[in-house]
A and B are shown apart, each in its own frame.
Chain A
Amino acid sequence: MSMHGLARLTHRAWLAACILNLTLAFGTGCRKREPPRVEIFDEAATPAQTEALGSLAPPWPAPERVVLANGLLVHWLHEAETPALHLRLILPTHALKPALQGTAALVAARALALELERLSPRLAVRVELQPGLDRLELALHGVVGETDAVLSGLADALSGDPARALAQARRQLLTELRPLDAEALAASELMAILRGDAAVRERIDPALLQTQGLGDSQLLDAWKALTDPRQALLVVHARTRLSEAAGTAGVAELTERWRQQVNLLAGNEARSEPQALLRLRPNKPPPSTTNHLTRAPIAPLRRVDPPGSGRPLLVIGRAIPTATARERSLARLVQRRLQEQFDVRLGIAGPWAALTLHIPLAGLGKAKPAIDLLEGTDPPKDAETEPQDPLTRRLRRELTVIRDVLRLRPTTQDLFQAAQLWLGARMVAASLAGEDWTALWSESLDLAANDGDIAAALARDAQAMLAATPEEVVAWQQRWLDLKTSEPGWAWVLVGQEADLQGVQGFLKAGISFEPAPEN
């Protein structure tokens, strides 16, 4: 291209830019803004009020939803005559860069909580920061007369300069967070194995704050990425309807003032994801391991240095598919039953869940020598039955109990009582916490397979849990939890010294052995 042509092109480009500027300056100012399109969220029918109450689930009507012009997705739960207002800002963390996850994201969320707490002198609000699966949640509890003001306050907090709040949040977390203990180290390592991820992404490590491992710019980046409205979900539980509130100043301010700060390219708002679960969950499910515990390929036992001089801890876990209400409810029921005997935890994230067993290996003490009751003397020592060291004795005993519990067929009454306790406690806890439907909605997000399921997920799961039979539970246990016959997907981590690892590996060398059944 000749210089003349280039000049002419440049001239044209300059002209086009002028026209574009004029359009932006005047054209948009005169354009009438369309109100956001509010939809009733009823792809799947919500359970009838009686049905929901009967199955110990909240009787919420079909909620409304809208994607605001800034890309924020809003789910709005309407309850007539409630005097309270609950807002829950759900900020996903799975899409953040690895360096911004974990501690950095927590500092950013804490800073936002501090900004929101500044509303309290003029508004009757209370702020809570709660962790969720792959997300951080900020709950604001207020009164219904201040809905508009609280939404404006939220816009203030999200559009202001966060530098001061970030520094304050860092200082507060430094004093509050405890160093990582064996539990946290083991759980994060195990989850990293199951998810094919880096353990640091699973940890909230205060050491990063102490050693200035997180710079101010990194915290600011975390803030910007975490508070991107195109990724977030706002759940509201209020007396008004979204269709009534959509035109108010509070919603307008939230839309206008809270803008994404990560990507300044225009035009991406239209591509904001309207599906909540697609925003909140990683795009692909975690790659499950193909390992077993007792047969090839055997999961490698990974060792993590202990944080102090505590006792060694073994954490065994596996990924379990939970795509349907039946699978989810069976997983929960089995966890509740096992919880009566061991420390067993279950985290459900829609189509998959992680189940972990936490077994401390020391603390059994010296084995008590058998006494001949007739003679009152110690029986002669047998070299072959010499007690093993406490570490492996404990492990063997725990594994034996786990095996025995998994082989037991529960009674229908056991299952019903476990289901009643779980479901009842969930509702009672929600009532004591102020009947905040957004908290239950957040729980429902973890149970739903798709957005259409969210409103009915708690009720469906409750119904499936109450309908579970002993045969179903036994079959499920054998398929997923039996130490010898279950499907692959296991992993284990030991937090302890090298000697502990060698002890456990020596015990496992010939395969898992169990204690003999007691003689009658």
Chain B
Amino acid sequence: MFAALLTLLTVAAAAPATAAASAPAAASAPAAAPTSMATSPTLTPITPLNPTATAASGTVVDAVLPCGLRVLTARDLSLPVAAVVLALEVGSEDDPAELPGLVHALAYQLEQGNRELRPAEAIATAQDAGGTYALATGFAQIRFESLIPASRLDPMLWVESQRLRNPTTAPQRWSQALGWAASDERGGSRLRPEALAFVHGAPGLGHDGRVAGKPLGALNEAALTAQLAAKFNYAVATLVVVGPESPEQLLARVSPLFADLPPAPRRAPVRSIGPRALSAGPLSPGTGSAAPSDMSPKPPGDLSPGTGTPAPQGMSSGSATTAPLARQRGQTFVWPVPPNAAAGAWATALCRAINRQKKAAEPEEPRRARLTCDYEADVRRGVLILRPGNAEDAQAFVRARLARFAPGGADAALLQAQAAIVAQALRLAVRTPAGLARQLAMSAVEVPPVGGGPSFQQTHRIDELTGLAALADPAALARVAPGLLRVEDAIVLTFPEAQP
């Protein structure tokens, strides 16, 4: 037995050190070298806990620094580890029309360092101390996530405070970043890009955000500098820190690192559900990968085409909006999920409940009729997809099924049970610093209230930001994700001939 264990020991010991950097192996190669201590601050011991300065358990301090950076800090005392997540509210949705895949590739370019950081220093800072590091890119958010020993918190915070300052634009670094981007996995969405763009009312979603084509390779240094400056700055970023110290102490560690940046207003876009009806019409039939014709270049500040535009009045007036789509089989009902953690949690619960619904007896429901649900989770651009089968009147069938979840309906208890299961899973997920930090980064983009101004600070309960509080309230579904139970608010993707 001892011998068998010895065989395992090497693997087990090596595992944490070689874990989850999403950046390719080439990026982590420099990480093996000792971290340069010339420019980084030295390791700092954990400051003693001061009970008087400690916020109540389960609270998050939410602050906006003068440079426009939003900081969320929370405490986790279970183990001496800390999680740091820099979330940028920019994604492939914000690619210029002529440069698809730009933001995804630029995210890798941010690993290449600048005047202060050597290439891959962020990765090395985490991994040289036994931590893990990951890069996550999406439609509307990019996250740099690290989980580190608590004693390594200051160096990691320092790295994040330097990352966006004049990233390098050296051509060889850019071509390397493009290589990494090209070898990344493609998205496995069940919806085609043009359908997703239509559902969210965001034309920027209508292309493959992970393509790394020739136009990107042709960017010169000046253009690259301009794009980096336009897309990435701390005014669209959120820094989430979860560690064994109080939220106030963590904030006190973060604030001085950004004090030298010029004041700037917060500019993170609120990704509201867009004006679907305004762009209703045939969706580029037959050209699945083509970008929609209305995807035009936008000024750097205008990151969200649907921001702030209210949904048309007619959208909830009887029948769902229908969108003909080439090569579409049957009818698919799609709802955009609002960009906050509570809506995502409820969408998960709803989907689980739909997939567990029992069939109604005939003639209420045809014997062979079925309904399947998929929830494609994305921080800002999630969609709930329902596929009815073997039903003559699909809309009536879906409407009847959803009606059973209404308060007092036949399946209201089923929905509550699934909400409880999702809440339990969420509670376990946010138990660890890494899980809590990721969940906080997914919380809604909040604009400081009028008069809040720079240096605005408030506190939240963790339950509120992670969606747990909403899940506990049966009435919250209609509040946080209005329309998810209404067929009238769905987009129905259908083959052109089937359009009524």
* CB-contact partner of B17 in A59, A184, A202, A425, under 8 A: A425
Q: Which residues of A contact B81 (CB under 8 A)?
A: 427-428, 431
- The stretch of A46-54, A163-171, A498-506 in contact with B is A46-54
Nearest-Cβ distance from residue A35 to partner chain B, whole angstroms: 30
Question: Contact mask A135-168 → B, CB, 8 Å, 1/0?
Answer: 1100000010000000000000000000000000
Q: Is B49 an interface residue (CB 8 A)?
A: yes
> In whole angstroms, how far apart are the Cα atoms of A124 and B424 in the complex?
10
Q: Is B297 an interface residue (CB 8 A)?
A: no
Decide: A53 and B8 in contact? CB cutoff 8 A: no
A354-B2, A420-B129 are contacts. A431–B9 as well, Cβ < 8 Å? no
A432-B432, A434-B431 are contacts. A345–B10 as well, Cβ < 8 Å? yes
Decide: A426 and B428 in contact? CB cutoff 8 A: no
> In whole angstroms, how far apart are the Cα atoms of A434 and B433 in the complex?
10
Q: Which residues of A contact B49 (CB under 8 A)?
A: 49-50
A57-B80, A83-B431 are contacts. A131–B4 as well, Cβ < 8 Å? yes
Known: A420-B128, A420-B152, A424-B131. 13 other contacts (CB 8 A): A56-B150, A59-B80, A59-B244, A83-B424, A183-B7, A354-B6, A413-B34, A424-B129, A426-B130, A428-B131, A429-B130, A431-B434, A435-B432
Interface residue ranges of B137-168 to A (CB < 8 Å) = 147-152
Q: Which residue on A lies nearest to B129, using beta carbons?
A: A424
Q: Which residues of B contact A53 (CB under 8 A)?
A: 46, 77, 80, 150, 244
> In whole angstroms, how far apart are the Cα atoms of A54 and B152 in the complex?
11
Decide: B431 and A432 in contact? CB cutoff 8 A: no
Q: Which residue on A lies nearest to B149, using beta carbons?
A: A424
* CB-contact partner of B79 in A83, A190, A420, A427, under 8 A: A427
> In whole angstroms, how far apart are the Cα atoms of A124 and B150 in the complex?
31
- Counting contact residues on chain B (CB < 8 A from A), the size range is 35 or more
Nearest-Cβ distance from residue B33 to partner chain A, whole angstroms: 11
Nearest-Cβ distance from residue A227 to partner chain B, whole angstroms: 17
A202-B1, A428-B81 are contacts. A345–B6 as well, Cβ < 8 Å? yes
Most buried by B among A54, A82, A425, A437: A425
By a beta-carbon cutoff of 8 Å, the part of chain B in contact with chain A is 1-10, 13, 15-17, 19, 34, 43, 45-46, 48-49, 57-58, 77-81, 128-132, 147-152, 244, 424, 427-428, 431-434
Decide: B128 and A417 in contact? CB cutoff 8 A: yes
A53-B244, A430-B79 are contacts. A131–B5 as well, Cβ < 8 Å? yes
Decide: B46 and A54 in contact? CB cutoff 8 A: yes
10 inter-chain pairs at a CB distance below 8 angstroms, sorted by A residue, are A50-B46, A50-B48, A131-B5, A191-B6, A201-B1, A202-B2, A424-B148, A424-B149, A427-B130, A428-B16
* CB-contact partner of B1 in A50, A56, A133, A413, under 8 A: A133
Q: Is A242 an interface residue (CB 8 A)?
A: no
> In whole angstroms, how far apart are the Cα atoms of A201 and B3 in the complex?
10
* CB-contact partner of B152 in A52, A424, A429, under 8 A: A424
Decide: B149 and A191 in contact? CB cutoff 8 A: no
* CB-contact partner of B130 in A183, A201, A421, under 8 A: A421
Decide: B9 and A347 in contact? CB cutoff 8 A: yes
Interface residue ranges of A31-58 to B (CB < 8 Å) = 49-50, 52-54, 56-58
Most buried by B among A53, A422, A426: A53
Q: Which residues of A contact B8 (CB under 8 A)?
A: 131
Nearest-Cβ distance from residue A371 to partner chain B, whole angstroms: 31
* CB-contact partner of A431 in B6, B46, B147, B428, under 8 A: B147
Nearest-Cβ distance from residue A205 to partner chain B, whole angstroms: 10
* CB-contact partner of A339 in B10, B16, B45, under 8 A: B10
Count residues of A near B (Cβ-Cβ below 8 Å). Answer: 64
> In whole angstroms, how far apart are the Cα atoms of A81 and B152 in the complex?
26
Q: Is A102 an interface residue (CB 8 A)?
A: yes
Q: Is A79 an interface residue (CB 8 A)?
A: yes
Decide: A434 and B428 in contact? CB cutoff 8 A: yes
Nearest-Cβ distance from residue B455 to partner chain A, whole angstroms: 30
Q: Which residues of B contact A343 (CB under 8 A)?
A: 10
> In whole angstroms, how far apart are the Cα atoms of A96 and B292 in the complex?
71
* CB-contact partner of A59 in B6, B77, B151, under 8 A: B77
> In whole angstroms, how far apart are the Cα atoms of A354 and B2 in the complex?
9
A345-B9, A425-B130 are contacts. A188–B3 as well, Cβ < 8 Å? yes
> In whole angstroms, how far apart are the Cα atoms of A422 and B14 in the complex?
9
> In whole angstroms, how far apart are the Cα atoms of A429 and B147 in the complex?
10
Q: Which residues of B contact A346 (CB under 8 A)?
A: 9
Decide: B148 and A435 in contact? CB cutoff 8 A: no
Decide: A423 and B5 in contact? CB cutoff 8 A: no
* CB-contact partner of B432 in A131, A420, A434, under 8 A: A434
Decide: A58 and B6 in contact? CB cutoff 8 A: no
Q: Is A203 an interface residue (CB 8 A)?
A: yes
Decide: A202 and B3 in contact? CB cutoff 8 A: yes
The 8 closest A-B CB pairs, nearest first, are: A425-B130, A424-B130, A424-B149, A425-B16, A187-B3, A188-B3, A429-B16, A202-B3
> In whole angstroms, how far apart are the Cα atoms of A57 and B46 in the complex?
12
Decide: B6 and A420 in contact? CB cutoff 8 A: no
* CB-contact partner of A428 in B2, B78, B130, B428, under 8 A: B130
> In whole angstroms, how far apart are the Cα atoms of A287 and B358 in the complex?
66
Decide: A195 and B2 in contact? CB cutoff 8 A: yes
Q: Which residue on A lies nearest to B8, using beta carbons?
A: A131
Nearest-Cβ distance from residue A333 to partner chain B, whole angstroms: 13
